[in-house]
Structure 1
Amino acid sequence: MGVMWAEFGLAANPYATDPIPPSEEGDQLLAGRDAELEELLARVRAAGAHPTVEGDDGVGKTSLVSVVCHRLRSEVEQGASSPVFLPLLGEPVQPRAGHSVDLFVERVYLRVATTILGERETLRRRGLRVPDAAEVRDWLRSPIVRGWGAGVNTSPGDTVAGLLGTVDRWLHELFPGPRSGGFVCVADNLAALETAHGARTLLEAIGGPLLDRCGLRWVLCGARGGLRASARLPARLGAPLELGPLADEDVEAAVERRLRRYRTSDDATAPIGPSSFRTLYEVLGRDLREAFTYAEAFSIWLYSREKTAGTPGELDALFEAWLAGRADLHRRETELGNRAWQVFDQLAARRGRCSTGDFEDFGFHTRDAMRTHLAALETQNLVTTLDNHENDKRRRTIVLTPRGWLVRYARGDHRPPRLV
């Protein structure tokens, strides 16, 4: 794939959907999130309730938190922050379906010990009481601890408790009070678990072992409405920072930053420039991840036809034709009755989101009457249902799929939807 991007005069894929890395490069690539970035940093530093971030899949939660972690680490390394909030080394902690709460806790403690050893000199320079390196290494070499890293826990409870107690002691020595700072732990991708019974159990059960633990500062990320859906979630979690879609002008800036970063020459022409990417973003209901996915698909289409050179205007024209062709194909393949089409058009005009509780807004007398037409839309892969209200099916959110937005584009004479 690298050869393909080189043909366009780019060093890497500017439309990659991977989260922005926690680095200076990632900081420079993040666009349109200045207010959210400063607010999340303030929430972490406040040392009160643990921050939470909510938003739709692909909206950029992981990227935002990555840049927050980069900023926090830079402050610690430069000696500019007090108290110290230092992100754990490695990727965000990912809860795994089928794993027990105990194993999740043990994996977090393993990450803490690894960070204590890896950041030993940084912590020492900040004047903190750092545990003996040999003791930490011995702890990490324990066969029981190695099993945690492999997702295995078959050890006696008292043995495990002793190992965890050692890390608790280290944390207390490093961060003796609630205002002393701590390690920043990011629990990401909770959306994968939020519809399962075990996910609620996990979020509610980590209160004592992790959310109350001295020296640990948590940032939890989940789907919109997911972290708030359980009334039994610990009060230690703050009100979610809600992350909405990027503004249209910020999307152009985000793509321009990527193109500027990856251009290998001044005359390189991107397959999709900022203006066309904004159009794509609007057509797909302002889903940034899907817009990047389609931009990559168009780039591959150009490359496979040896159309890697041309003026921006020529490539824009090819993109418009390609997008219209894709949309028209999906429209021709969709079969619905008139009433289902009416529901579809109304849903698209409502930013592609509703629940069956909105049945009166769609002209129905009952939820069941509306469900019949929503089922027809779902059969055609025009909508999908988000299980963000596990215990109340009436409140589950119905959203347009990327295919649905493309069909809407075709039905709208190839004009981006006007969202209300």
Structure 2
Amino acid sequence: MRELLSEIFTVQGNGGIVCVIDNIELLENGMATRKMLETLRDKLFNVNGLRWVFCGANGVIHSLAGSPRLTAFLNTPVIKIANVKPSAIIPLIRARLCEYSTDAKEVERELPVALEDLELLYRIVNSNLRDLLALADEFCEYCAQSGKPLRTNSTRREKLERWLEKATGDRYDDLSSRVSQNAWAVLDVAMSGLFQGTFGAADYSSFNQNSTVSFVEATFKKWLSQLEKLGLISKELNDGASDSSEDDSELGKFSRDVFTVTAKGALVHYARRKRRENLSVADDPEWMRPIHHVDTSTPRKANRY
């Protein structure tokens, strides 16, 4: 292989085959990732005609950038790929239908879920495309098993809302006995307009001020650990951050941790809001407002806002 590459790319740096190492975060921490790739350096990364792309979530790539042995193989700054914007979901799904079907328009009419509702689902799962497709597939399977065709958008929306309330409620019920009742306050505040699903351990004071439940910093740390073990939040691996910091204590390392609410956590939070169990007093993001219901005991006509 080395000989073939040398024949094809006679001038070093003049083209190459792009190779991708993806999902690096599966190695679980930045130090393990760094050691693994440093071991591969001389075997793979300096081969003429190969160009490498390292992809991973949770901050592990930033840890790689701090490795002296990999400096020559990494471009800086690291390129951060943002989530797909909600406004791009409908065009993206339509492109997918065109790719995998012979009549995309007919398929779109026959789908049990409207594309506009997929955009809403995308926001509900905290902008996670993979989980959006999985959730949509789960709903389509449910509709297929029921055997009843859905003819109008209003019918599709009503069935989706009923199914989503039950599906998220079941997820919530399965976890309720494994999470301290007051610990839900962390998830509720994290999903408020204040943080919109991403926050740092150093935001303890803001969490305490915007929660109906009072807690101390030690309790906050315990609840974060509890939610993380159940997959409701994920921690960004930021091993490299401690290299240049003076505070290398356990508390100092903890204060630099960054967390993101997972799609699982976002769905559970949706169920809590539908049941009016939210423990946050912070403002809601725009996309959460449609699931708030006006009190129908008032003389005004009930609606959603």
Where do residues 182-193 of structure 1 align in structure 2 (5 Å cutoff)? 182-193=16-27
Which residue does 1:297 correspond to in 2?
138
Find the aligned partners of 1:419 and 1:195 in 2 and give their Cα distance. Answer: 35
Residue 373 of structure 1 deviates from its aligned partner by 2.4
Residue 319 of structure 1 deviates from its aligned partner by 0.9
Instruction: Name the aligned partner's letter for residue 259 of structure 1.
Output: L
Q: Summarize the Cα distance change of 1:178–1:353 in structure 2 as closer, same or farther, 3 Å threshold.
A: same
Which residue does 2:224 correspond to in 1?
374
Percent of aligned pairs sharing the same letter: 25
Which residue does 2:46 correspond to in 1?
212
Partner SS state of residue 219, structure 1:
strand
Find the aligned partners of 1:292 and 1:176 in 2 and give their Cα distance. Answer: 44
Partner SS state of residue 126, structure 2:
coil
* 1:398 equivalent among 251, 259, 264: 259
Q: Deviations over 1:210-240 (max 9, x none)?
A: 3333222111211141111141151220132
Find the aligned partners of 1:359 and 1:256 in 2 and give their Cα distance. Answer: 42
Q: Summarize the Cα distance change of 1:325–1:418 in structure 2 as closer, same or farther, 3 Å threshold.
A: same
Aligned length: 253
> Is residue 2:273 matched to residue 1:412?
yes
Q: Deviations over 1:124-153 (max 9, x none)?
A: xxxxxxxxxxxxxxxxxxxxxxxxxxxxxx
Q: Summarize the Cα distance change of 1:182–1:262 in structure 2 as closer, same or farther, 3 Å threshold.
A: closer
Unaligned runs of 5+ residues in structure 2 are 210-214, 243-252, 277-283, 288-305
* 2:74 equivalent among 222, 237, 261: 237
TM-score, normalised to structure 2's length? 0.71
Partner SS state of residue 206, structure 1:
helix
Which residue does 2:212 correspond to in 1?
none
Q: Summarize the Cα distance change of 1:409–1:198 in structure 2 as closer, same or farther, 3 Å threshold.
A: closer
Where do residues 12-411 of structure 1 align in structure 2 (5 Å cutoff)? 113=1, 167=2, 169-195=3-29, 197-230=31-64, 231-232=66-67, 234-235=70-71, 236-238=73-75, 239-265=77-103, 266-268=105-107, 269-333=110-174, 334=176, 339-349=182-192, 350-363=195-208, 367-378=217-228, 381-389=231-239, 394=254, 395-411=256-272
* Alpha-carbon contact 1:185-1:218 (below 8 Å) kept: yes
Q: Summarize the Cα distance change of 1:281–1:213 in structure 2 as closer, same or farther, 3 Å threshold.
A: same
Q: Summarize the Cα distance change of 1:194–1:181 in structure 2 as closer, same or farther, 3 Å threshold.
A: farther
Instruction: Name the aligned partner's letter for residue 237 of structure 1.
Output: L
Unaligned runs of 5+ residues in structure 1 are 1-112, 114-166
TM-score, normalised to structure 1's length? 0.53
Find the aligned partners of 2:52 and 2:98 in 1 and give their Cα distance. Answer: 34
Find the aligned partners of 1:332 and 1:202 in 2 and give their Cα distance. Answer: 40
Find the aligned partners of 2:182 and 2:160 in 1 and give their Cα distance. Answer: 33
Residue 358 of structure 1 deviates from its aligned partner by 2.7
* Alpha-carbon contact 1:259-1:270 (below 8 Å) kept: no
Find the aligned partners of 2:262 and 2:7 in 1 and give their Cα distance. Answer: 51
Instruction: Name the aligned partner's letter for residue 177 of structure 1.
Output: V
Instruction: Name the aligned partner's letter for residue 242 of structure 1.
Output: K
Instruction: Name the aligned partner's letter for residue 348 of structure 1.
Output: M
Find the aligned partners of 1:309 and 1:332 in 2 and give their Cα distance. Answer: 29
